Structure 1
Amino acid sequence: MRTTRYRLILCQFLVLTLSITSQGRPLISDEPSGGIRFFKGSWQQVLAEAKRQNKPVFVDVYTTWCPPCKRMAKEAFPNPKIGSTFNVHFINYQLDAEKGEGIDVAKLYAVASYPTALYITPDGALIHRAVGYGGINGMLDQVEHVLRIPALKATLVKGDKDFANGRRDPEFLKKYLVMRQSLGRPTSDVLDVYLTTLSDSARTAPETIAFIANNLQTTDSQAFDFLIRNRPPVLSADPVKRNLATTVLKAILRTLDNDYKQAVSTTDETLLEKIIANSERNTTSANPFMQRTESIKQEAATSYRLRFFKQTRNFTRYQSIAESEAQSLMAQSVTELHTADSLASIRLQNMMRFMPDSIKNRLASTLAGKPMNDQMMSWKVAHSLCELADTYRQQGSSTASWQIAIPWIERSLVLYRSHESLHTYAQLLHKLGRNQEALTYQKQAIVDAQKAGWPTDEYESELRKMNP
């Protein structure tokens, strides 16, 4: 039974790891993968396009002799991060201030230095100007500033009115969603409506799935349900489907995390249980070939609840779960876990034999520093026991609670020694008045942290407090 459990954990870990750690951008996206896409046409045509898409215009006003203009064109405009940001929020346009229409437009907006960035509403009103080139980060900061300007927010008013009056054509809703997203407004209600307006073929098209993923804000929505039902397989042989699957998974994990943070900030246990249910739905749909037992599902739910009660500092509720979880972990003998380590290592090696080199490289990069060889299952149990013991160290307020955690951290050290577990053990010993032992283990934590390249200032400070 436990062998099956370890196999399920291994497969689940690998699939999720491969999914969320794509080192490139998704190949399928509602945004281009390169730099800024500039509109080609006349000044009047670009304003007409801005009205059609309900977006403001970013205008790069330059001259051919301007060194900062050339540097910006070479360095910033091809940059994927700049491109994905500007292409979402603006219609992008370039004008030579000394040629053609550029002369009149530069005069109209009193451009006297180069480069000058103009941010224009679809009706031609100036929202903001920025002179010079401050690097890629400077341009991204500039966009954040522009998107907070009330004059830009006013361009959303018409969309709000049309939506309230019942306008529901897909083209309008898509533009309206992009504008709401760019201004940090909620999108869930509009996104759900947008899905209902599409035909079956349009709804399941890769570009639609990517658009829904990029605009998803909460798991409590029809859009979340849609992505759960229509996600491509993560391990597809088709790189386009595989990258689209990564886009979807990142969106789902992002919204689960956002909802979880809201639950913690409001100490909302009802929301927490919804998140647990939606997290399970995500895992099941991401791994349809894998049967998840009730014990595996309960393990995932327990992890969520422990983290929640720890972060909300509800130690009474934390204890009610932690001691039962620790008892289950401690029941797994060292011999049994070492056997499971060997089996997991063999399965991992067999799985990797059939993986493309690109996936092997991503996996190796992702798992750097983690014991994914002959200690994988031991590390998992050791890490869990250390986390439980450390929470008792931090939030427990009595000798009894600290004493309870001692066997947990001792087993953790037997299974997988780390500077974190040594530090937790030293601190618990110090709280229990076992000062000489505490000093010994704190010094060992410092040595092991140094070997791992981990900063030791905090550990050394605590060592001085132990030995005044």
Structure 2
Amino acid sequence: MKQLLLLTALFVTFQCNGQISFVSENTSWEQLSKIAKKEKKLLFIHLWGTECEQCNEVANKGFAGPVLKKVFQDNFIAIQSDVASENGKKLAEKFHIKGALVSLYVDSEGNVLNRFNGSTSYSNTYLEYAQEAISRKGGKQLSEFEQEYQRGERSGAFLKAFIQKRRESHMPTNDLLDEYVGKLPVDSLTNFYVVKFIYQQGPALDSRAYRLIQALGQHRMIDSMYRSVPAHEAVAFNNGIINNTFKKAVETKNQQLAYQAANYSQQIFRENYVMGRLYFQRNMIRYYYEVKDTTSYFNECRQLLDQTHLLMTVDSLKRMDAAAFEKNRVAQTPVGPPGEKQAVRFAPPSQTFHIELNEHAWHYYQMNNNPRDLERALMWSRRSMEWHEELRKDKQHLPLGNPAYIDTYAHLLYKLGRKNESIEWQTKAVEAQKVTGMSWTSMEKDLNEMKAGTLK
């Protein structure tokens, strides 16, 4: 009877504004596993952090989507936990999670069936990942692969299957990939399908797998492989290589490796030097920020934004969007009945520039106390708001402006000692946030602290 009462008590739920019901955030893994086995369900574990309140609000909006209700109610026990809390730390440690935000779809044995990094207000994303996880129930799971691996299984076929299982769950594969390549006869690395499989894993530039392929000089075959796959798959090859190299560079604080990743990204645009150089700088700035080399970060930011972004105009950004839209329109295959107006999937490249201005302005607010640098960041912030308004003034979205950009501007004003102006702009940020339908609690909290002079 005590056992039954315990299981019942754990089902005290938190609606999170809607459709996914979460058990208590303090529910341990052992209790979660027991409930899932009893109910014959999977587990949805969302680990969040306090560093990005807006990210949490975005996730909560996504969880509120009506499309999630039946699938999650029928198939999952769900929990949200702060990654810094005692239980959150234990869950993160169990699943080798290093930070928020991460959503895991796992079975009662702890096998990860799917993983989503980050947050989104688009409920269908969580639904699609959930449906994929449900489809992966049964069969050979990661824990079984891990057990066989620990017992010494190292055959090429096993390692390939293990890599595919990890990749299916959005988990790292590069350590296994090097081991797999080491099991292959050297001449197999001239095989089109073997090389394609390796590239699908995004081998780091300093990995054994990548270096061996390059050493064999199969450049013509690699070029043929890139041409033979759809454009999105070729992009995925490159993104995997860059991201895995960059991640390793940050973890080991290896600036030279970060340079190699940045250089690789530049070479992708070898026919467009300006764009290639831009991607090189973006990657190095990202590296300096991640490893907390603030001196290099501040210097590189100033150089990039002053010599690139601030030389642009709204008209030049509009021309950039128009050219990119036409390229996308021509490249996309129409879907639907002939003669009907077709939708074109399109993300305007101009948004990257005002997003970066706001992002770097915010980082200056967080990490820099030099008044001259803060004034520079204030200029970037003001420009980001102006561009956003001009580029989207014909759209209905965000009629009062981008609340995140306004929030950045207000905080910089406050740090520069311009309290009254900061209160005025933070009030605008709160009102703009209310229009979006998302929580404005954290912005209003900052507004109150600005008024009291206690904002840190």
- Normalization by structure 1: what TM-score? 0.53
Is 1:188 aligned to residue 178 of structure 2? yes
- Write out per-residue CA displacement over residues 303-337 of structure 1, whole angstroms, 9 at most, x where no aligned residue: 11111112222211112212222222464253xx3
Partner of 1:121: none
Partner of 1:416: 388
Partner of 1:258: 244
Give the superposition deviation at 1:440: 1.7
**Matched position secondary structure for 1:186:** helix
Give the superposition deviation at 1:392: 0.8
Code of the residue aligned with 2:411 in structure 1: it is: Q
**Matched position secondary structure for 2:137:** helix
Question: Is 2:406–2:425's contact at 8 Å kept on the other side of the alignment?
Answer: yes
Q: Which runs of 5+ in 2 are unaligned?
A: 1-39, 41-70, 72-108, 110-132, 167-172, 390-401
Alignment match of 2:414 (pick from 430, 435, 441):
430
C-alpha separation in 2, matches of 1:140 and 1:190: 25
- Write out per-residue CA displacement over residues 12-34 of structure 1, whole angstroms, 9 at most, x where no aligned residue: xxxxxxxxxxxxxxxxxxxxxxx
Partner of 1:274: 260
Is 1:291 aligned to residue 271 of structure 2? yes
C-alpha separation in 1, matches of 2:343 and 2:206: 32
- Mapping of 1:253-402 within 5 angstroms? 253-281=239-267, 283-284=268-269, 291-293=271-273, 295-329=274-308, 331-332=310-311, 334=313, 337-342=314-319, 344-345=321-322, 348-349=325-326, 351-353=328-330, 355-358=332-335, 364=345, 367=347, 372=348, 376-377=349-350, 379-402=351-374
Give the superposition deviation at 1:344: 3.6
- Alpha-carbon distance change, 178 to 144 in structure 1, aligned in 2, over 3 angstroms: closer
C-alpha separation in 1, matches of 2:290 and 2:332: 38
Partner of 1:204: 192
Alignment match of 2:426 (pick from 415, 437, 442):
442
- Write out per-residue CA displacement over residues 228-256 of structure 1, whole angstroms, 9 at most, x where no aligned residue: 9425687x7xxxx444x544542442342
- Write out per-residue CA displacement over residues 210-269 of structure 1, whole angstroms, 9 at most, x where no aligned residue: 4223445423246447599425687x7xxxx444x5445424423422221222223221
Code of the residue aligned with 2:366 in structure 1: it is: Q
**Matched position secondary structure for 2:292:** coil
- Write out per-residue CA displacement over residues 390-412 of structure 1, whole angstroms, 9 at most, x where no aligned residue: 11101102333322312221222
C-alpha separation in 2, matches of 1:383 and 1:181: 35
Give the superposition deviation at 1:147: 3.4
After TM superposition, the runs of 4+ consecutive aligned structure 1 residues lying more than 4 A away are 179-185, 225-229, 231-234, 358-363
Partner of 1:461: 445
- Alpha-carbon distance change, 141 to 267 in structure 1, aligned in 2, over 3 angstroms: farther
**Matched position secondary structure for 1:264:** helix
- Write out per-residue CA displacement over residues 349-381 of structure 1, whole angstroms, 9 at most, x where no aligned residue: 3651463125998952x63xxxx3xxx53x343
Give the superposition deviation at 1:444: 1.8
- Percent identical pairs in the alignment equals 15
**Matched position secondary structure for 2:272:** coil
Partner of 2:91: none
- Write out per-residue CA displacement over residues 183-230 of structure 1, whole angstroms, 9 at most, x where no aligned residue: 865322532663733285xx124xx34422344542324644759942
Give the superposition deviation at 1:292: 2.0
Question: Is 2:177–2:209's contact at 8 Å kept on the other side of the alignment?
Answer: no
C-alpha separation in 1, matches of 2:138 and 2:240: 22
- Write out per-residue CA displacement over residues 104-159 of structure 1, whole angstroms, 9 at most, x where no aligned residue: xxxxxxxxxxxxx9xxxxxxxxxxxxxxxxx92893799233334x4x2355x264
Partner of 1:100: none
Partner of 1:15: none
- Normalization by structure 2: what TM-score? 0.55
Alignment match of 2:141 (pick from 140, 143, 154):
143
Tell me which structure has the larger Cα radius of gyration.
Answer: 1
Question: Is 2:250–2:287's contact at 8 Å kept on the other side of the alignment?
Answer: yes
Give the superposition deviation at 1:465: 1.1
- Structure with more relative contact order (C-alpha pairs < 8 Å, separation 6 or more): 1
Code of the residue aligned with 1:190 in structure 2: it is: Y
**Matched position secondary structure for 2:176:** coil
Alignment match of 2:156 (pick from 173, 191, 206):
173
